Amino acid sequence: MTRRTPGPDSAYLISRERLIDAPAARIFEVLATPALHSVIDGSGTVRGEQPNGPSRLSPGAKFGMDMKLGSRYRILNHVVEFEEGRRIAWRHFSAHVWRYTLEPRGDGTLVREEWDGRAVPWRFVFRLTGFTRRHPASIEATLAKLEDYVLREPDAA
């Protein structure tokens, strides 16, 4: 079950978490594999396998993503936070960050996904366009798809 992260969401820091009955290492492998991002994406914007960049992310890695939000486009992301098995985050030109943190809990893992737009100088545009209103549902859908993938494909990634 997905739940809101304790504490108030800011309009520019949106966070949800889900307890997944799988080891953190297995979940992290999925998150660190760009080719699987379209499989677990709950927003419907990430398209297909990501052919440009490394097959597995690492500190400072750059990777391209095919996207569709209205029209199709390609975005270049840069890994800005990386702690093997525990934390991974990336950003692109607009400076907002997608972050995942993993905390082992018994036989499972508490997975937190965050969209962090606090560093974006023109962040008010996200609110004006309704972008931030869509994130909670998209994050919840991503965490559900991540859980489904990890439990269904335990040896993948």
Residue with tokens 């419907």: 44
pLDDT band at 122 (very low <50, low <70, confident <90, very high): confident
**What are the DSSP E strand ranges found in the chain?**
2-4, 13-20, 46-47, 62-69, 71-83, 87-91, 97-105, 108-116
**What CATH number is given to the structural domain containing 111?**
3.30.530.20
Q: In this structure, is residue 36 part of a structural domain?
A: yes
**Residue 35 pLDDT greater than 60, yes or no:** yes
Q: In this structure, is residue 83 part of a structural domain?
A: yes
Q: Is the pTM of this model over 0.85?
A: yes
The parent domain of residue 69 ranges over 2-152
Instruction: Output the pLDDT for position 4.
Output: 57
- For the stretch 65-112, pLDDT in tens is 877 777 886 788 999 999 999 999 999 888 889 999 999 999 999 999
CA distances from 101 to 1, 5, 12 (A): 17, 12, 18
Instruction: Output the pLDDT for position 23.
Output: 96
CA dist., res. 92 & res. 87, Å (int): 18
- Give the CA count within 13 Å in the CB-facing half-sphere of 14: 18
Instruction: Output the pLDDT for position 123.
Output: 80
Other CB atoms within 10 A of residue 101 CB: 20
Instruction: Output the pLDDT for position 111.
Output: 98
**How many domains is the chain built from?**
1
